Amino acid sequence: MILSDREIRIALKRGLLRIVPEPMAEAWSSTALDLRLAPALRRWNLAPDKPAIGVEYCFRPAHPEFNFSQISQQFTEEIIIPSAGYNLEPNQFILGWTLESIRIPNESRLATRVEGKSSLARLGLGIHVTAPTIHTGFGEANPDGISLQLEIWNVGPLPIELQQEMRICQLIFEEVHGTPDRGYQGQFQEQGPGAV
């Protein structure tokens, strides 16, 4: 069951959900809550340590030693969105974060999906490529929660200007039937602009 704006507000009041900073009035719609873009982005940059001729890089996520944080640290560079904005070029893929931090206690019996906004999608801007679920127990390690890392790409014909604090995505909250045996314990429990 998808929660209405009224039910999301009740969950916030009861401590079943935490969002810091508190959402502004214009962030709410009938069944979703908009989140804003934090200033820090990570741009992929494979050029500095190019392998020898004839050797190509390949991500190997099924390898037992695969570690996304290490790969991200090695192959991305931080960009702070300037006041004039950052132009995301066609076919460019970057990582970003929400300005808001989220915490969903395991006992809340809530989960959420992060989705793009249709107004941006119509320009070719994709947000959170294929893994929209924010599991029950997400952000429990921090009382204020943690920012959501976003996969952002431009499949449109023109550059798209990203601005700090622009509304970039929306959360759709859902009720979880029953309390999970354990909350989210995945590798992205400690994500955020500083955590890479």
**Sequence-ordered list of residues with C-beta below 8 angstroms from that of 152, at least 6 positions apart, any chain:** 41, 88, 93, 94, 95, 96, 125, 126, 127, 162, 168
Cβ atoms of 128 and 151 closer than 8 Å: yes
* Catalytic annotation, pick one of 100, 151, 174, 175: 151
How many other CB atoms are there within 10 angstroms of residue 128's CB atom?
19
Measured distance CA(157)–CA(124) in Å, rounded: 8
**Sequence-ordered list of residues with C-beta below 8 angstroms from that of 150, at least 6 positions apart, any chain:** 37, 95, 96, 97, 98, 114, 127, 128, 168, 169
Q: Is 151 a catalytic residue?
A: yes
Catalytic residue set? 151
